[in-house]
């Protein structure tokens, strides 16, 4: 892309230089043609006066003009030993106080060849006969020449070199210098464009190359790749996005490995119990009585629940979890699940308090899955609340949302654990025993189910004082 831009700039500058040079030449030549005709016209006045005064062109080569003395367009002209003053326009470039010298210099202030041609095309006077052939001047006589008429008779024609497109030394040098400056300016601009483009491309390609190399390593499983952010432009934003993506992938990889380890641990415990019990029965150490079978069924139930939780999470992650959406009364559903937990709370010595809005909190949802979320939050609150504590189940209408909050007076959650408690298989207390923290999938499932209903869930806690888990779902009527 940079090379394309440089090519466009170089092409544009080159075209501008060529067009500019051509235009300068064209306009300069046109200006010289016009100036030459004006110069020839002023000279024609003097030659015409000379012819009228002398009746012929004899001795015209001795004509010279004194520019020192002119005022109000009056010039002093001398031929031989005679002097005259006539009213003419001062020639271009004439400077008061400048005196011409030498025969044959009719208009010396301009370094220009001047021809005086008779009516038959013969050269009467040539200001610079050493300049070479006058054929070009004569060929342009009809276009660039100024005729001298006496009593309606053409007695001669004055031709200036510039009116025929022939430039003098100064004009050629000036035009050459201008063209050289335009050419050098164009070349300089192209070099600057190429240099700037090369510098810019290096600046762009360096982070792009680093990004490409890091991407290959990332694809190979090295999630520790990070690229230094050196700019604030789009490349800097892209680098920041890459670093964020790499960090997220690294976190996900760590979570995946930890999840596999946790799942293996959760499966190993009930499987170990089952193996030990079965080996004891096989060896005759344990009788397969009702109590033993009950213990085996408990472990099988634990395995089944863990597998079911994992299945729900995988379906939710894949967006394939089927939900039966129907109008659901949040107050009624929360009340039912509180009643389901009352017996367990009473056995533990914990009081559950309801604070319902008594308003119409209708949401569109799956009643079974929402009950699963409420039961999970209530079970967690009961698990971490000691005897004599309380649990508050509250519903309210907040900005077009139905909000449900479960607040306990339990042990609370450390501030550094709050951002992670909804991650699967995460336990805030770090315990590995199921009796202390369950499988660690309940809150992950609750979050997935709430998100599937278009809501959100979060936690607030003060360690040692208790926790509040809240969720919001969009109201049906709004």
pLDDT at residue 299 in the model: 81
Please say if the pLDDT value at position 105 is more than 80.
Answer: no
Higher pLDDT, 38 or 404: 404
Tens-place pLDDT, residues 388-442: 999 999 999 988 899 999 999 998 888 888 888 888 766 655 443 344 445 667 8
Please say if the pLDDT value at position 274 is more than 60.
Answer: yes
Residue linked to tokens 């235009």? 23
pLDDT at residue 215 in the model: 86
Distance of alpha carbon 110 from alpha carbon 93, whole angstroms:
7
Task: Name the least confident of 88-102, 158-172, 424-438.
Answer: 88-102
pLDDT at residue 321 in the model: 76
The torsion angles phi and psi of 191, rounded to 5 degrees, stand at -65, -40
Please say if the pLDDT value at position 253 is more than 60.
Answer: yes
Please say if the pLDDT value at position 89 is more than 80.
Answer: no
Tens-place pLDDT, residues 359-375: 788 999 999 889 989 99
Q: Specify which of 7-21, 197-211, 412-426 reaches the highest per-range mean pLDDT.
A: 412-426
Q: How confident is the model at residue 337 (pLDDT cuts 50, 70, 90)?
A: very high
Enter the pTM of the model: 0.48
First and final C-alpha spacing in the chain: 51
- Please compute, for residue 363, the number of CA atoms within 13 A of its CA located in the half-sphere on the CB side: 28
pLDDT at residue 156 in the model: 87
DSSP class of residue 423 equals: S
Distance of alpha carbon 354 from alpha carbon 337, whole angstroms:
11
pLDDT at residue 326 in the model: 92
8 A C-beta contact, residue 90 and residue 84: no
Question: How many residues in the chain?
Answer: 478
CA 396 to chain centre: 46
197 to each of 184, 209, 210, 228, 342, how far by Cα in Å?
19, 17, 20, 23, 75
Higher pLDDT, 35 or 318: 35
pLDDT at residue 333 in the model: 93
Q: Specify which of 86-90, 201-205, 287-291, 385-389 reaches the highest per-range mean pLDDT.
A: 385-389
pLDDT at residue 110 in the model: 53
Task: Name the least confident of 31-35, 225-229, 458-462.
Answer: 31-35
Percentage of residues of the chain with pLDDT beyond 70: 84
Neighbours of 34 (CB within 10 A): 12
Q: Mean pLDDT, the chain, as a whole number? A: 78
Q: How confident is the model at residue 2 (pLDDT cuts 50, 70, 90)?
A: low
Residue linked to tokens 């992670």? 420
Handedness of CA 422, 424, 427, 433 (dihedral sign): positive
pLDDT at residue 80 in the model: 45
Distance of alpha carbon 382 from alpha carbon 386, whole angstroms:
8
406 to each of 197, 262, 301, 320, how far by Cα in Å?
62, 27, 27, 29
Please say if the pLDDT value at position 85 is more than 50.
Answer: no
pLDDT at residue 101 in the model: 34
Contacts of 276 (CB under 8 A, 6+ apart): none
Distance of alpha carbon 97 from alpha carbon 70, whole angstroms:
9
- Please compute, for residue 69, the number of CA atoms within 13 A of its CA located in the half-sphere on the CB side: 9
Contacts of 449 (CB under 8 A, 6+ apart): 316, 321, 369, 370, 372, 373
Please say if the pLDDT value at position 320 is more than 80.
Answer: no
Distance of alpha carbon 110 from alpha carbon 40, whole angstroms:
11
Higher pLDDT, 396 or 7: 396
8 A C-beta contact, residue 91 and residue 109: yes
DSSP class of residue 475 equals: B
pLDDT at residue 111 in the model: 65
pLDDT at residue 406 in the model: 95
pLDDT at residue 478 in the model: 52
Tens-place pLDDT, residues 339-365: 999 999 999 999 999 999 877 889 999
Six-digit token string for 435: 């009796």
Closest CA to 365 of 239, 449, 444: 449
Closest CA to 441 of 316, 336, 340: 316
CA 124 to chain centre: 75
Please say if the pLDDT value at position 102 is more than 50.
Answer: no
Segment 299-327 shows an average pLDDT of 80
Distance of alpha carbon 339 from alpha carbon 323, whole angstroms:
24
Tens-place pLDDT, residues 214-244: 888 888 888 888 888 877 778 788 888 888 8
Higher pLDDT, 469 or 114: 469
Ordered by where they begin, the domains of the chain are: 2-171 (no CATH), 234-318 (1.10.287.130), 326-474 (3.30.565.10)
pLDDT at residue 91 in the model: 45
DSSP class of residue 124 equals: E
pLDDT at residue 392 in the model: 95
């Amino acid at each position: 892309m940079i090379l394309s831009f440089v090519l466009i700039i170089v092409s544009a500058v080159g075209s501008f230089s060529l067009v500019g040079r051509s235009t300068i030449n064209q306009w300069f030549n046109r200006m010289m043609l016009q100036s030459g005709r004006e110069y020839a016209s002023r000279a024609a006045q003097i030659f015409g006066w000379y012819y009228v005064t002398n009746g012929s062109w004899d001795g015209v080569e001795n004509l010279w003009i004194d520019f020192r003395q002119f005022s109000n367009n009056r010039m002093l002209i001398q031929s031989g030993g005679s002097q005259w003053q006539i009213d003419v326009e001062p020639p271009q470039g004439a400077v008061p106080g400048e005196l011409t010298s030498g025969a044959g210099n009719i208009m010396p202030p301009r370094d220009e060849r001047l021809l005086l041609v008779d009516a038959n095309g013969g050269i009467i006077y040539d200001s610079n006969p050493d300049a070479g052939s006058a054929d070009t001047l004569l060929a342009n006589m009809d276009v660039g020449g100024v005729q001298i008429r006496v009593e309606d008779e053409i007695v001669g024609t004055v031709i200036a070199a510039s009116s025929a497109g022939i430039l003098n030394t100064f004009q050629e040098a000036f035009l050459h210098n201008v063209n050289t400056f335009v050419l050098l300016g164009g070349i300089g601009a192209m070099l600057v464009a190429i240099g700037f483009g090369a510098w810019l491309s290096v600046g762009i390609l360096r982070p792009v190359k680093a990004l490409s190399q890091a991407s290959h390593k990332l694809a190979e499983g090295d999630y520790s790749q990070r690229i230094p952010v050196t700019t604030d432009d789009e490349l800097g934003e892209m680098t920041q996005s890459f670093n964020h993506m790499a960090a997220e992938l690294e976190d996900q990889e760590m979570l995946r490995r930890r999840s596999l380890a946790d799942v293996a641990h959760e499966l190993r415990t009930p499987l170990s119990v089952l193996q030990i019990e079965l080996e004891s029965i096989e060896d005759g150490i344990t009788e397969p009585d009702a109590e033993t079978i009950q213990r085996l069924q408990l472990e099988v139930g634990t395995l089944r629940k863990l597998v079911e939780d994992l299945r729900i999470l995988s379906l939710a992650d894949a967006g394939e979890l089927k939900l039966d959406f129907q109008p659901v009364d949040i107050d009624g559903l929360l009340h039912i699940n509180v009643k389901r937990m009352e017996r367990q709370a009473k056995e533990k010595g914990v009081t559950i308090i309801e604070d319902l809005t008594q308003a119409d909190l209708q949401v569109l949802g799956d009643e079974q899955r929402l009950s699963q979320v409420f039961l999970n939050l209530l079970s967690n609150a009961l698990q971490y609340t000691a005897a004599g504590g309380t649990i508050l189940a509250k519903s309210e209408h907040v900005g077009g949302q139905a909000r449900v909050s479960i607040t306990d007076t339990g042990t609370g959650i450390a501030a550094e654990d709050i951002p992670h408690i909804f991650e699967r298989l995460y336990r805030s207390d770090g315990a590995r025993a199921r009796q202390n923290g369950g499988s660690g999938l309940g809150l992950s499932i609750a979050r997935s189910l709430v998100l599937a209903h278009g809501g959100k869930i979060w936690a607030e806690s003060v360690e040692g004082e208790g926790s509040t888990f809240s969720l919001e779902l969009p109201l049906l009527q709004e």
